[in-house]
Structure 1
Amino acid sequence: MNLKPYRHALALPGVRSLLLVSSLARIPLTATSVVLTLYVVTDLGQTYAAAGVVGATMTIGMAIGQPLLGRLIDRRGLRPALLLATIGGAVFWGTTRFMPYPVLVGTALLGGILALPLSSVVRQSIAALVPEGERRQAYALDSMTTELSFMVGPSLAVLLVTTGSARATMAMVGGGLVLAGLALIALNPPVRGHDEPAVASDRRLSRRDWLTPRLIGVMAIGAASTLVLAGADISIIAALQDANQVAWTGVVLALWSAASLVGGFSYGAMAQPPSLLRLALLLGLCTIPVGLASGQWWLLALALLPSGLMCAPTLTASANAVSRLVPAVVRGEAMGLYGSALTVGLALGAPFAGAVIDRSGPGWGFAAIGTLGTLVALTVLAGQLRQARRAGGTSVVPASPDPATPLASDQAA
């Protein structure tokens, strides 16, 4: 395994500081869903379904807001968008704990629209800081640090709520998000390369010029991947509850996350990495049979390892593909749309798997989300091959991190 590309990527000016700040900033960001849920249930006395409405409303807001903030970055630069999101976050989180439930549902939409676009900004900055040939390693590092933040943030939030209160924890999460915004404003990472314009020119590109079928396919794969991950998350909890082994949930999730870290690290170090479509297909196919091992927690953990190894590589490859497929002047909006696709997948995965679990059991939850993820990848593959035949070629134009790993090829078929 060649680690030299990682050293090259980390040696580039601005990359280490960007990854460090983003890793710390993601900790309060990953805690928001858990804190809101616990606040609605414990402090407002509502049901988990009511808490889900708040979470869904905020998710819709985020899906709307990320492309809008991305366009603002393209047109006015990074700091105005970050300042707007930071102020909006301070107002939302500073007042949320005083709101009755009906008001909270309405303001959650605005809170989502003005949520700090951290992941989109980081992906855009990596594209500006890192040459195209080394972005795979940089995006792999970003995926791994994101995984670590998700391992810390929600657990820390639960600990603070159980040892203190949901209201106090919400104040701390809000303060953390404000500090994260201020840190990014101070860091001001570049969103354009040295040879790219600082902001978009007065002549706007039409979306038809850059929102191509290939780019839509990449975003569909990204959405399908997060749908599989979110659905697997709730299926794991349901399987352990069905086996009366809920106490092992944290261990199983930690092992799954560790597999994702290993997969992301290995993917970045490979000389000839698999294509994006291969990764997406493997993620879906490896998830389908997981439910067969749901009788014991350790069997479930082992069964999750193959799909875990595919998590970070799939998201790394899709983010890198987006950075390669769009002009620099619309990269902010494109990364925002990509972020919205991931958000939609996360929002749909849990309720879809939950509905299947309620009707058929936890094992079928894994099978359903894995099958759906596989079908999306096969649909994108069919579309890419159709385009290739129309173009008179046998392979699809590369849309993956490296020329050697196209989005789809005749071999991938």
Structure 2
Amino acid sequence: MLPQAYRRVLGLPRVRGTILLMFVARLPMTTMGIAMTLHVVESLDRGYGEAGLVGTATTIGGALGAPAVGRMIDRHGLRRVVAVCGTFSTAFWLTAPHLPYVALAVLAVPAGLLTVPANSLTRQFLTALVPEEQRRPVFTLDTTLAEASFIIGPTLIVLVTTQFSTETALTGIGVCIGLTSAVLYVTNLPIRAAREVTPGEATARPRMRHWLDGRLVAALLVSVGALFTLVGTEIALIAALRENGETAWTGVVIAMMSVASIAGGLVYGAAKKSLPQATLAVLLGALVMPVGLFDHPWWLLGIALIPMNLMCTPTLVACTETVSRLAPPQVRGEAMGLQDSATRLGIALGSPVVGLVIDHGSAGWGFAAAGLGGLLITGVGFLCQRPVPAPAEPEVPTHEPEVPA
């Protein structure tokens, strides 16, 4: 049975349906990279480097597009943006199986730019539907389902590819995007709560320098640092198991990590009090640094990774909770898009940096680099939220009038 905090939040109007809808909407997003890689390598007979170029271009487009799409949603509403982005994305994935490699590479960036931002939209919907004091449980459930989608989605796409073809897989992604976009258009879920919209204020939009302050920048940097640590840990894990000849146990160790992450998240979501976002991120990075000392055998490595994974979901939930609290309702879509870009940036930085450390050292140093990199980025965020002292005004000398003797 779910704890009372989760039952209460799932009982709120439209929350349960929104979580399920956005779980389905996320599935094609989790399959795009592997589906395109398999298509370029197997069907177009190109190399993995060329496949990676298309994937990187799509990722860059998505990172740049998420804040822009969020800004358009803030200004023009959900339906108009979903209609445009959903139509373009559906058309791209339905035609992708029939395009030559050069056309795919050219269209990858605009395809990423105009992707329906399922992650940031989910957070925006739930922020509008759920009062602030109940957001931690609902964000925990959403983050847990997001992790599940990254397991289910790639598994399904590999199954479709092996049983049918890469063309069928790409077409399936297009159909799924089209259907979920149509449902989003029809349901027209709220992007702001009724209490946050007042007559005459719908178009009032604060300037970025007024809301993107040190606290929000710090929250975004903590997101970057957390994802740097997480993706770096995955790279180091794969390298460690390969060095020890235990690659076959990779799935088991990842399953141990996932169970620990979900368990930590469920406890965090039900707790009445929580640790600050930066503290959770520091624990995440610090706990992974010594893991390289326990990288053999595989079961000891899995156990050593449990403490840091207990902090995984709580850290991600705290980042979302902080951004949802700090962002004004009129710019929430753009703020959530910035958080989406921050997570993508952390992934983009963590993989090559930790990989470079492993190439010039060992998998053990990879774990240390993953933790240290996350701590450094989190430290920069901590410095950003500290207020800058105002310059002291020069003292004006005062002269007392002389008293005649």
Would you say same fold, with TM above 0.5? yes
- The question of whether the paired residues in 1 share the 8 Å contact of 2:217 and 2:384 is answered with no
- The question of whether the paired residues in 2 share the 8 Å contact of 1:25 and 1:177 is answered with yes
Q: Does 1:307 align with 2:319?
A: no
Q: C-alpha displacement at 1:221, in angstroms?
A: 0.6
**Partner SS for 1:115:** coil
Q: How does 1:10-409 map to 2 (within 5 A)?
A: 10-197=10-197, 201-384=202-385, 386-387=386-387
For 1:335, give the aligned amino acid.
M
Instruction: Classify 1:195/1:252 alpha carbon distance in 2 versus 1 (closer, same or farther; 3 Å).
Output: same
- The question of whether the paired residues in 1 share the 8 Å contact of 2:204 and 2:330 is answered with no
Identity of aligned residues (%): 42
- The question of whether the paired residues in 2 share the 8 Å contact of 1:74 and 1:200 is answered with no
**Partner SS for 1:387:** coil
Bigger shift: 212-221 or 370-379? 370-379
For 1:230, give the aligned amino acid.
V
**Partner SS for 2:311:** helix
Structure 1's unaligned 5+ residue stretches are 392-413
For 2:122, give the aligned amino acid.
V
Whole-angstrom distance in 2 between the partners of 1:93 and 1:241: 35
- The question of whether the paired residues in 2 share the 8 Å contact of 1:200 and 1:330 is answered with no
For 1:140, give the aligned amino acid.
T
- The question of whether the paired residues in 2 share the 8 Å contact of 1:75 and 1:200 is answered with no
**Partner SS for 1:208:** helix
**Partner SS for 1:191:** coil
Bigger shift: 217-226 or 197-206? 197-206
Whole-angstrom distance in 2 between the partners of 1:55 and 1:390: 46
Q: C-alpha displacement at 1:388, in angstroms?
A: 8.4
Bigger shift: 363-372 or 192-201? 192-201
Give deviations 1:1-35, integer Å, cap 9, x for gaps. 99222121111101100111111222222111111
Give deviations 1:181-237, integer Å, cap 9, x for gaps. 222223321111111228964443210010101100100111111122222222222
Q: C-alpha displacement at 1:295, in angstroms?
A: 2.3
- The question of whether the paired residues in 1 share the 8 Å contact of 2:287 and 2:371 is answered with yes
Give deviations 1:33-56, integer Å, cap 9, x for gaps. 111122222222222222222111
Q: C-alpha displacement at 1:110, in angstroms?
A: 0.9
Give deviations 1:151-183, integer Å, cap 9, x for gaps. 211122222223332222111122222222222
Partner of 1:395: none
- The question of whether the paired residues in 2 share the 8 Å contact of 1:2 and 1:271 is answered with no
Instruction: Compute the TM-score of the two structures, normalised by the length of structure 1.
Output: 0.90
Whole-angstrom distance in 1 between the partners of 2:239 and 2:91: 36
For 2:326, give the aligned amino acid.
L
Q: C-alpha displacement at 1:83, in angstroms?
A: 1.4
For 1:120, give the aligned amino acid.
S
The RMSD of aligned alpha carbons is 2.0
Q: C-alpha displacement at 1:390, in angstroms?
A: 7.0
Q: C-alpha displacement at 1:318, in angstroms?
A: 0.6
Partner of 2:400: none
**Partner SS for 1:157:** helix
Partner of 1:411: none
Q: Following TM superposition, where does structure 1 have runs of at least 4 consecutive aligned residues deviating by more than 4 angstroms?
A: 388-391
Whole-angstrom distance in 2 between the partners of 1:291 and 1:325: 37
Instruction: Classify 1:200/1:95 alpha carbon distance in 2 versus 1 (closer, same or farther; 3 Å).
Output: farther
Partner of 2:401: none
Instruction: Compute the TM-score of the two structures, normalised by the length of structure 2.
Output: 0.91
Give deviations 1:82-135, integer Å, cap 9, x for gaps. 111211111110122222222212211011001111111110111111111111
Q: How many equivalent pairs are there?
A: 390
Whole-angstrom distance in 2 between the partners of 1:226 and 1:305: 17
For 1:83, give the aligned amino acid.
A
**Partner SS for 1:51:** helix
